[in-house]
Amino acid sequence: MFPLLVDSVSVAGIYALSALSWVLLYRTTRLMNLANGQFLLLGAYLFVTFLVQFGLPFPAALLVSAAAIAIIGALVYVTMLRRLAGQGEFTIVILTLGLAAVVDSLTTMIWGSNDRVMPSSLSDRTYHLPLNATITTYEIIVIVASIVLVGIASLFIDHLPYGLSMRAAAENPVLASQTGIRVGRVLAAGWALSLVAATLSGIAYSYVNVLSPGISEQLGLLGLAPAFVGGLDSIPGALLGGLLVALGQTLAGSYISAGSQDAVAWILMLVFLLFRPQGLLGSKRIERV
Amino acid sequence: MRRVTAAPPPASPLRRLASPRAVAVVVLIVGLVVLPQPLQGYQVNWVNLALLAVIGALALNQLMGVAGQVSVGNAAFMAVGATVAAGLAQHSVPPVVAVLAGAVAAAVMGAIVGIPALRLRGLYLAAATLALYYIVSYATNQYQTDTVGASGWIMPSFSVGGWSLGIDQKSWYYLLLIVVAATFLFLRRLTDRSRFGRAWHLLSGHSKAASAMGVDVARLTVQAFVISSFLIGLEGGLFAYYVGVLDSGDFTLALSIQYVAMIVIGGWGSMAGAAVGAVLVTLLPLGVETLGSSLPQTGAAGQFISANVPALQGIVYGVLIVLFLMYQPGGLARLAEVTAARAGRLARRGGGRGGGRARPATGPAAPVPAAGAARARPRSEIEPRSDIEPPAAPLLLTEGLQVSYAGGVFGTHSVSLYVLPGEITVLLGANGAGKTSTLRAISGFTSAEGARVTGGRVELDGRDVTGSPPDRMVGRGVVLVPERDKVFADLTVAENLQLSARGGRRRRAGGVGPSDAAALVGDLFPALAPLSARKAGVLSGGERQMLAIGRALLLQPRVLIVDELSLGLAPRVVEELMSQLQLINTRHDVTILMAEQSSVATGIAQRAFVIETGVTRWSGPPGEVGDGGELIASYLGTDLASD
Amino acid sequence: MRKRRLLALSGLLALVGMVAAACGSSGSGSGGSGGGAGGGSGPYVIGMSNDLSGPISALGLPGLAGLKTYVDYLNAHGGVNGRKINLISLDDQSNPALGRTDYQELADKKALVMTGCVYTAVCQAAAPLVSQYKIPIISEGGPNNDLFPAKPYLYSNDLPQGLQPIVMMDEVAALAKADHISKVRLAWIGANTASDNDGVTTLKELVKQHPGWSMVGVEELPLSVTNASPEAQALAADKPNFIIGVHNDVNIIPTVRALRAAGVNAPVIGVAAGSSDSTFQALKGNYIAWRTYASPTDPAIPAVAAMMQRAAQYGEKKQATGSYFTQGYVEGMLIEAALKKCGADCSTGEQFNTALEHLTTFNADGLAAPPLGFSPTQHVLNLSAWFYQWNSAKNAAAKISGSVTVTQSDITKFAS
């Protein structure tokens, strides 16, 4: 059992990062971006391009691709979503569906649909833990990175002044602009942050597994499940949600059937939506009829 | 001599037949009946696929466009309908029964989904339908693995009575045409005419209003899900028989997105629009392939094109969704409407200048605008006061202010008032008279509800500031405490004040100074101190109002505008707040403009204006409000007259 | 009133417009115009229906590119029997409805053959039409019952899934013999799909044929593998010395990694879908997978060089990424051979079908594992595979076996 749990933790980290992208967007704009998976894939492809084609060292490739996707996210807001500001979240969610189709086709056109194995820049050593468990270098990095990134996000949004502005703008843009907050800029920044988090989760996943077009659904959309389990408006909840979903998948795989692993995350999410929509750590302000 | 004008002769039956509408319908029917004849087999095939899609699009339109529910689960319902029909077909169940059973199974699932829809809205419901899609996907895959295996379900030939359709495209065409027509008529019946039908339209976004009108929201919502999923399941079952083989992987998320595209492109809430959207999106691959083959095939450009043409489809309908949502949310249906209205107007007036909108503005009768009129000014049945002249230089002034909302609704028609520096002025009026619209217009808060200033002007210090955004107005010292959403509910009390303090620091000279403001808040509202860490959303009404005024003060206003301070508060709390406002006014020289329904502010105010149905009706010292007639006294409360 | 009329009119107009477009469309793909393959003078018309924009476009696009390369090459050298070839390429998006529509379209355009069709369900939707239109379908794989016994007009140009376990077991036997392992403890780990369950059943039957061998573990994986450790741990407990791993490139990598992390070091034998160069490179030692077609990156096969040179010449190099490209290319060679047999007057699917059936020996220049051919009772082109493993000295995936072939008795036992 213990080795399984240890294996789940690194997967939980990746899920947490994906969940973070959904939570960040919700906290800063009150929206859901159904094209999240496609942008995740786009960011990961950009990273691979900078790393392999351009030959940049790992940190530089990471920074450049994060910057690129942040700019793309801000542009998406400024060109399309800003215009629809008053029209209700429903319209915007549908618009992101349209975006998903476009970005999907674009990534296929530019990068094809073959999968890519990440060039291993670190020696992937396996460490042996008590009780027959093992953990690799990559897994340790992913776990540490996810905790650190979620911590930074939480600090930024919940405790720093700019984060305060973002939270105010998300809740009540007009009142926020009254206090002098540049609402347009702040919302664009929210989009940028969310997509960067998604990209990071995609990159992490690609190192542990493979970079393939399937991760737009498998990781990008799936991130909704840990997001709702932890609480759509709770940043630390992303970690908890990721852990629960990963554990749930592992247990289902061991005790029920392999196929159920696919469905467990979604079943968990549905259960929470029906019985505890605010998730484990979220606040109770849910849109009810 | 008496002139006799003969009434026009009644339209003879022949005349009616020749009416444009009848002709169009006949042409349509004939066209549809004859359609398959000149076409090749595979082209009829494409048309059949389009017809199947129309069924699903009409159903989704019912759910999303009419009942306003979000669903990305189309593919899931299709899968259920198809799988159940396929499973039954393996046990020699007659095709019509199998298809109907599949539809019923989908409807049952729809009912189950409808229940969380009662408690979740918007994003949460969309997420739930997404989860549903993946769970159904897994379940049908498991079922396939356990029963028929990799080859999928092989379907027998579809037969109705003695008529076996097999792979005959033309027979399928007529069958599907009948099903589509039946669906159309059924849905039209459901949502037209009757009170029951109109109730559907209220669900979308107005459920509170709907239930107030006696509409059983719960029942209708569930009904919407049941009906639409029945139809989508029906489409799934027919699809399985039509294709002849079914695999659980046939129904992808991309398919759900395609159906949403159909509704968006065709037109939200429009059945004909949904049908047109369905045809366009289904035939898109054909169009793209045709485009691809007509472009150069050789050379570098040609290779690029032919390699990328298949991927083009996603781009085309994705871009269409985005463009339509941004520029024409009503889809093609609305586009057709607008074009028709414009064409009709041009035809009638022979090219005269017409108004901008297809729908006439609601409200008092809108006359034909005079040529050259920049903005329409509707007549009002109540004459605005024309003798409102400030006795001294006012700090703030509005003249003939007209505020309109989206859809042509007017907040105010012509409001004129003034605020003298250092005074407390109160704006009186009943619910809906236009107080909030006026205050919003003055402080720049119009975009909150999609409002616009369409007439008159606002002056501050003698300068025209009409239409300035809130931050600009705050920069000039005008701060509004709104009626609703007056604080940030998700932020703590301390954070609310922090934000305003930051904003106030940007203010230039004049009004309450920074340290003064913070100290002032501490003095006036000591009750707030222990609540620092609490979220503003959980405060009591009185505490929230204190916080709202406190944060407004931190923005260092010269003019503090308070909208409906007393709403929902106990009289003692209101009294206290009034005295604190008075303190702010006298000791710190902040001019105050208040809006109230009741007479609570008349004790502290120096001047009153009365608004009725969007027009200034009276102005003068508050004590004299009672002298204007029973009409005014009656809704302000009789205690005013006795003051 | 007016609103409804206008909507009705616009709906009608849209419909008429679509129909006009469809009528006017003369089909797509290289070579432009459709129209009949008239006997003797006009071009031969052939069709390919692939997934070009759907979930498995990574397979469809290279396949089309391969076929196009060879067809372009033929056309540039006078065609076959003095006639050029008109290739109509259609996109089925892995949607059976479109698979059927595409077949119908090719039939309407008097094609001689339909190729492509990777997914079984997509081809199956078209299968009922063959008896009416008599145009052969050459699909890539397919369920046993469609291919054994040979059904009229249905062919496969790849090793059918039902026979794949046989080939893998032959290789296991060869490896066990080389390593002097007499008691094979075989385990299976793979995707949770129906076809894979059939494979497990076949494997269990095969194991029974070897005394001393046992099937020690069967673990199912989800369709998308993020974390294979539960299954890997469970398999480790069974202590296998050979493992058969059935999943595609994307998912076999985390699976094998999880196995190694769980301490399972036995050789893993994978399938063609998990045999891309990058997979071998990522998994390195002790991962073996078979291919029926050579990879365009294989340095050891001479014909590959010529194929790649033509790919560059005709602008399809970008898609020449894996053996799916080679499969399309060889399909072009196959069609050329059949057309030659069919003759200059070949004008109907029926005639082409007869030619196919009598193509008993087909030479693919080493691009596909031999022997290759059709017969009136045998509609599967390939019954053999090569096995590959990563060779760090050569820094490439290299063959570790000759052609491993399914025998006739095997077919009788497991397929008919």
What is the domain-level CATH number for residue A84? 1.10.3470
Rounded mean pLDDT, C242-254: 91
Contact B321 A94 (CB under 8 A): yes
Domain presence at residue A192: yes
**Which residues in chain B have Cβ-Cβ distances shorter than 8 Å to A94?**
260, 264, 321, 325
CB C96 within 8 A of CB C122: yes
Render pLDDT for C216-231 as a digit per residue (tens, 0 to 9): 999 988 888 888 888 9
Helix (H) or strand (E) holding B411, with range, is strand B409-419
pLDDT reported for residue B448: 65
Half-sphere CA count of A156, side-chain side, radius 13 A:
14
**Angle at the Cα of B221 from the Cα atoms of B219 and B222, rounded to 5 degrees:** 70
Look at the block and give the residue holding tokens 């930051």. Answer: B502
Rounded mean pLDDT, A88-97: 81
Q: Is the pLDDT of residue A20 over 50?
A: yes
Q: How far apart are CA A135 and CA C258, in angstroms?
A: 10
CATH dotted code for B396-640: 3.40.50.300
Of residues B45, B243, B289, nearest to C91 (C-beta): B289
Helices C229-237 and A2-29 sit at what angle, rounded to 10 degrees?
A: 170
Identity of the highest mean pLDDT range in A158-172, B125-139, B526-540, C155-169: A158-172
Which of A53-67, B371-385, B411-425, C5-19 shows the lowest mean pLDDT across its residues? B371-385
Of residues A32, A34, A102, nearest to B319 (C-beta): A102
Query: Minimal CA–CA distance to C150: which of C409, C411, C384?
Result: C411
Helices C57-76 and B299-327 sit at what angle, rounded to 10 degrees?
A: 140
CATH dotted code for C163-291+386-414: 3.40.50.2300
Of residues B72, B131, B139, nearest to A269 (C-beta): B131
CA distances from B138 to A263, B98, B220, B245 (A): 6, 22, 30, 19
Read off the amino acid at residue B141.
N
Of residues C222, C249, C282, nearest to A258 (C-beta): C222
Rounded mean pLDDT, C88-106: 90
Contact C226 A218 (CB under 8 A): yes
pLDDT reported for residue B162: 79
Q: Is the pLDDT of residue B237 over 80?
A: yes
Domain presence at residue A146: yes
Q: What number of other Cβ atoms are within 10 A of residue B217's Cβ?
A: 18
Best mutation site among B320, B322, B483 for testing chain A: the one with the most A CBs within 10 Å? Answer: B322
Percentage of chain C lying above the pLDDT 90 cut:
51
Q: Please tell me which residue of chain A has the smallest CA distance to B116.
A: A274
pLDDT reported for residue B619: 80
* 3-class secondary structure, A211: strand
Q: Tabulate helix, strand, coil % of chain B (nearest 5).
A: 60, 10, 30
Q: How far apart are CA B584 and CA B625, in angstroms?
A: 25
Rounded mean pLDDT, A139-162: 94
Of residues C31, C120, C125, nearest to B244 (C-beta): C125
Global pTM value: 0.87
CB B481 within 8 A of CB B563: yes
Q: What number of other Cβ atoms are within 10 A of residue B381's Cβ?
A: 9
Residue B363 pLDDT class (50, 70, 90 cuts): very low
Q: C382 pairs with which residues across the strands?
A: C372
State the sign of the Cα–Cα–Cα–Cα dihedral B223, B224, B225, B226: positive
Greater model confidence, A73 or B123: A73
Query: Minimal CA–CA distance to B289: which of B251, B316, B260?
Result: B316
- What are the φ and ψ backbone dihedral angles of B409, each rounded to 5 degrees? -85, 140
CA distances from A282 to A7, A30, A34, A240, A278 (A): 27, 14, 21, 11, 5
User: What is C33-159+300-382's CATH topology?
Assistant: Rossmann fold (3.40.50)
**Which residues in chain A have Cβ-Cβ distances shorter than 8 Å to C219?**
258
Residue B107 pLDDT class (50, 70, 90 cuts): very high
pLDDT reported for residue A121: 61
**Which residues in chain A have Cβ-Cβ distances shorter than 8 Å to B487?**
175
- What are the φ and ψ backbone dihedral angles of B405, each rounded to 5 degrees? -110, 165
| Chain B: partners with 3+ C-beta pairs within 8 Å | A, C
pLDDT reported for residue B620: 80
Rounded mean pLDDT, A257-284: 87
Identity of the highest mean pLDDT range in B38-47, B525-534, B564-573, C356-365: C356-365
Q: Is the pLDDT of residue A280 over 50?
A: yes
CB B399 within 8 A of CB B456: yes
Q: What is the DSSP letter of B72?
A: -
Every domain range in chain C assigned CATH 3.40.50.2300? 33-159+300-382, 163-291+386-414
Residue C284 pLDDT class (50, 70, 90 cuts): confident
Interface contacts (A, C; CB < 8 Å): 98
Segments forming the whole domain that contains residue A234: 2-116+134-275
Domain ranges of chain B: 43-252, 396-640
CA distances from C96 to B174, B242, B417, C93 (A): 21, 10, 71, 8
| Chain A: partners with 3+ C-beta pairs within 8 Å | B, C
| Chain C: partners with 3+ C-beta pairs within 8 Å | A, B
pLDDT reported for residue A74: 94
Contact C28 B289 (CB under 8 A): yes
Render pLDDT for B54-98 as a digit per residue (tens, 0 to 9): 999 999 988 886 666 668 888 999 999 999 999 999 998 999 999
Domain presence at residue A125: no
Of residues B148, B167, B290, nearest to C25 (C-beta): B290
Residue C15 pLDDT class (50, 70, 90 cuts): low
Domain presence at residue A126: no
Render pLDDT for B372-411 as a digit per residue (tens, 0 to 9): 333 334 444 445 555 567 777 888 888 888 888 876 788 8
Q: How far apart are CA C326 and CA A212, in angstroms?
A: 22
C 87-126 residues inside an 8 A Cβ radius of B: 90-91, 93-98, 100-102, 104-105, 107-108, 119-121, 124-125
Query: Minimal CA–CA distance to A164: which of A174, A176, A152, A175?
Result: A176
Residue B571, judged by CB atoms within 10 A of its CB (0-12, 13-18, 19+), counts as: exposed
Q: Give the gap in angstroms from C-alpha A127 to the nearest C-alpha of chain B.
A: 35
CB A93 within 8 A of CB A34: yes
Token digits of residue B230: 């029945």
Answer whether B546 touches C (CB < 8 Å): no
Q: Is the pLDDT of residue B204 over 80?
A: no
Domain presence at residue A93: yes
pLDDT reported for residue C207: 92
Residue-averaged pLDDT of chain B:
79
Q: Is the pLDDT of residue B21 over 80?
A: no
Contact partners, residue B164, CB within 8 Å, separation at least 6 = B157, B158
Which of A155-169, C143-157, C196-210 shows the lowest mean pLDDT across its residues? C143-157
